[in-house]
A = this chain, B = another copy of it.
């Protein structure tokens, strides 16, 4: 089993290398595996697709969900060349694979110029103290939509 995980991590790292070499984006790659088969692939495409959310993990999750025709990655494993940033970690929790394997750490990423540790630090700050300040308003109007959702008979939970 250990060998299997190493082989899948190697595939994710290979995607990182290829995406970097072809100038699609940063040096990150990820794959999604189900029952021993690769069902999703991704590499960072932020700069080439002009999409700040196109991190390798998000691209791989979207690719796998499209292939599996599901918004859940039940029984899947995600392999990524680097420890996920907060955005990707959030995406992983919403997609719900059963496990994640990563190669480089977030400290390795920071040393290479990708400092998502600052985002982790921002999470602990109050809204208005953040580098991107956050303000609240119109809560009552928005709450009415939540109330409508809760009483919606044909809603699809996720």
Contact with B along A58-71 (1 / 0, CB 8 A): 10011001100111
| B contact residues around A116 at 8 Å (CB) | 90
Q: Is the CB of B16 within 8 A of A145?
A: yes
Give every chain B residue within 8 A of A154 (Cβ-Cβ): 23
Q: How many residues of A contact B (CB 8 A)?
A: 89
A74-106: CB near B (< 8 Å → 1, else 0) gives: 000000011101111111111111111111110
| Cα–Cα distance between A71 and B158 once the two chains are bound (Å) | 29
Q: Are A53 and B58 in contact (CB under 8 A)?
A: yes
Q: A13-B145, A101-B136 are in contact. Are A50 and B69 (CB under 8 A)?
A: yes
Contact A82 B142 (CB under 8 A): yes
